[in-house]
Structures are given as C-alpha cells and as structure tokens.
Chain A
Amino acid sequence: MNFTLKIWRQKNVTAKGEMVSYDVSGISPDSSFFEMLDTLNQKLITTGGDPVAFDHDCREGICGTCSLYINGRPHGPVKGVTTCQLHMRAFKDGDTIFIEPWRAKAFPIIRDLIVDRSALDKIIQAGGYVSVNTGGVPDANTIPVPKEKSDAAFDAATCIGCGACVAACSNAAAMLFIGAKVSHLALLPQGRVEAATRVQKMVACMDKQGFGNCSNTYACEFDCPKGISVANIARMNREFLGAKLFSEKERVIKESL
C-alpha cells in the first residue's frame, strides 16, 4: 500500500512547527501504524533526514504511552484501540493521512509528535491514590464490595491515562480522565475514606494545569481507547458537589494546595 503522510514536525518546545508531507510505499496492510512510521523513519535515516519522533512503549495497547492524532481523531479511525493497535488495513491505498500531536495548552510539544503529558501525573499526585498502606492481598470477602460497584470501579480503572480524551475534547478538558480516576477510587471501600478531599484536590490541580471546562460534547467517550463512560464525569461532579456542600472537615481550600 502507498500513502501520503502529512506529519507535524517541530524541533523543540519553543520552535515553530509545520506540517511536512512524506510519501511511503510498499506498506503491508497487516503492518501496524507504528511499523509504517518505522519504515518512514528508516528511509529518512538512510537518506540523511531527521526521523520523526513519536511516543510508544508496549505496542500492545495497555501502557497508554502512544498518542498521535490521526485524520482528526486521537488513536486513529478505529474505535476502542490505541494507535499501536491500529493497522494499515484500516486505511485505503493511496490515502493521505494527517498525523498530529495531542493539542492542549497543558500538553506542551517536546518534539514532533511527542507531547509532555506530565500534567496528568500531577493530577494523580494531587490525590489520585490511597494514602495508607492497605497491606497484602486480603482473604476473599473480608472486605465486602457489591458486585455492581466492583464492576463500575474496574471499568473506570481501565483508563490507561493516554490523554486521548483531552485531545478529542473541543475544549481540551481532562474531565474524563479525572472522572475515571475519582470514580475508580470512590467506588471501593479502601478509596472511599479519602473521597471528599481527593476530588477537591484533583479538580483544583486540573484547573491549575490549564485544561478546559467540560461542555458535555462526549467526544472523549467516543474516542477513548478503553471505552470509559461519561457517567464517570457525572459521578465526579456528584462527588465534588457533595464534598463542597456537605463535608465540613474535609473541605479543601484551593490556596492551601
């Protein structure tokens, strides 16, 4: 298969970037998107060019390292997969493919297609954890958890923190990510204890990182490679309102953060 690629090239965080056109040929329909980019990079290296920098690690859809905004959608045209699990058979021979980095003020571009997603890590550091050691694996049923709750918590916990929700959102909001993290911990007894302070700290941190506000367009849910539901955003809103309105001792003042 042959493709024309339009790729965002940018030397570093301060440099001015631009879309550059490349042609690749002889690509197998069974090769992955990254193998196709590897082919391009090999060609660039042998001809003395500068290879395209992009993020990738496990290449099996579980680590959340890969990104790429492909033809107007994070992780490309196939629903429910990350870029590393995208194969060239999803495109037509002769297609022009636009490849861009995640675009958000909170995600500065490091080089070409690689963005700095540590804003998401900072949100986790603000409260997305259980702060006591919960010990080893307990005996079954020593801590009773209703089945529906454990299922909902598990669904939220499948978030790999790739940032596709931010990239897809017309407002570059991170609400689906934080909604998933808040939900996953608030639904379980170990995380419930700190739920009121956690949600306030994480939302305050989100605002500080310069993410946008949710306008419920639900592009995040559509493009999430793990199919995280926007019901998690509503749950976070409930947690947040409940914490602000009804918890006294757990009230978090923004300035104290």
Chain B
Amino acid sequence: MFLYSSITKKVLMALAGLFLVTFLCVHLGINLMLLKNDGGRAFSTAATFMGTNPLIKVAEIVLFAGFLLHILFGLVVSGQNRAARPTGYARSNSSDTSFFSKYMFHTGIIVSIFLALHFCDFYFIKIGLVAPPAGIAIHDFYNRTLLLFSTPWYSLFYIVSFIFLGIHLNHAIQSAFQTLGWNHSKYTDAVKVIGSVYSVVIAIGFSIVPIYVLFFLNKV
C-alpha cells in the first residue's frame, strides 16, 4: 500500500469514493421509504430485498472493500501529507481556496465514527453479532430505526454526521474527477456544480428521516 505511487493511491481512492457515492444514492432511496405512512411495509420490503438478494450480497462485499480501500488509503495519504511538512508556518496559509478542502481527513474521521456506530446499530445485529434491543426482532429494521431516531441525541448526532458527510462530498466529487484526469474546460464547472448539489441532497435527504420521526410521525 505504501509502495504504490502517489497518483495510483489517489486514483484508487477516487474510484472507491465514487463507488461509495453511488451507493449513498441507493441507500437514500431506501431510507426515504420510511416517510411512506404504511407502517413500514415499503421500507421492510426493500430492507428484506437488500438483505436476501444474492446479487446484493455480492455488491455488499464490493461495498465493504470500497470502504476499506477508501479509508486505508485515506489514512496512508494523509499520513504522508503531514510528514511532507514536518515544520509548519507561523502564519498559516491564507490563499483564497476552498476552506473545507483542507479538512477532508477530519470530516472523513467523523464520518468513519458514524459508520462504526451505524454498523453496531444495524449490520452487527443483522449478522447476529450483537443482540437486538428487547422487543424487536432481528430483521425488524423499521422499528429499530424508529426506536433510535426517537432518541433526540442520536438523531442530532446522525444529522451532524451527515452535515459533515455533505462537506466531505462537496469537495470529494470534483476532486475525484480531477484525480482521474477528467478535467475539461467544457464540463469541469458542471461537475463542480453537480457535485455540490449532490452533496446537499445527500445531507438533507438523510436528515429528513430523523426529523420526520422526531417531529411528525404519530404526532398529527
């Protein structure tokens, strides 16, 4: 992993990242089914499909590999970047560039912490590593989700995590295209705009569910 050249490492990170970005879109689609007021039937059907379909099972392995690759290379690359400037400046850089682009490592760490918790809450229960909370069946993702989101601090943490993911994606999408060499006067501006819009849609889209559960579900 350390032996790969700088560009190879970043290209692999970019490819894994873009794959994860498309996965987010699918995940968001399923989450938004929770908004359908049918006692969780649509959501549970989708969750069962995702949990049992053999093609999805294969995709799941690719997904985990994507996460692992992106996170490990991210750590290696960030480590090397810090080592490349052992002594910092007394006056830090004041160039007029995108502010958050310098904090990809930090936002990435916050998203990873969320991911770890998310695994404990859902995936580990699904594969039977962790026992589900009392009164909820192993595969009952609907009630499990409602239970989690009815806790305000959990919902808040969830929303904050997605705001950070949005910030991460805002730079990440156009950055991945640049790393893959896809820079062109005709479409680079479009890629930047679409990337920013996509990151906002992801952050807001995922945040709608806890807000709905906390404030609107069974309240009217």
A-side residues, CB < 8 A to B, are: 6, 8, 19, 69, 71-73, 98, 100, 103-106, 168, 170-173, 203-204, 206-207, 210-219, 222-223, 230-231, 233-238, 240-241, 244, 254
Contacts and interface: CB of A to CB of B under 8 A. Distances in A.
B95 A103 contact: no
Contact of A217 (B92, B101, B181): B101
B170 to A, nearest CB: 12
Interface in B91-131: 91-98, 101-102, 104
B86 to A, nearest CB: 6
B86 A212 contact: no
B95 A168 contact: yes
Given A173-B81, A237-B7, A6 B90 contact: yes
B77 interface: yes
Contact of A100 (B90, B175, B181): B90
Instruction: Give the residue among B90, B93, B97, B174 with the most A Cβ atoms within 10 A.
Output: B93
Interface in B170-201: 171, 174-175, 178-183, 185, 188
A235 to B, nearest CB: 7
B6 A216 contact: no
A172 B84 CA distance: 6
Given A207-B6, A230-B183, 15 more contacts: A71-B91, A105-B84, A168-B95, A171-B81, A212-B80, A212-B81, A212-B85, A213-B10, A215-B101, A215-B102, A216-B171, A218-B98, A237-B11, A237-B180, A241-B181
Interface of B: 3, 5-11, 77, 80-81, 83-98, 101-102, 104, 171, 174-175, 178-183, 185, 188
B6 A217 contact: no
B80 A72 contact: no
A72 B96 CA distance: 11
A222 B95 contact: yes
B85 A103 contact: yes
A92 B64 CA distance: 55
A213 B174 CA distance: 17
Contact of B93 (A19, A73, A104, A241): A73
Contacts of A222: 95-97
B6 A219 contact: no
6 cross-chain pairs, A with B, having the tightest CB-CB distances, nearest first? A234-B183, A212-B84, A238-B181, A72-B94, A171-B81, A172-B84
A24 B92 CA distance: 24
Contacts of B179: 214, 216, 237
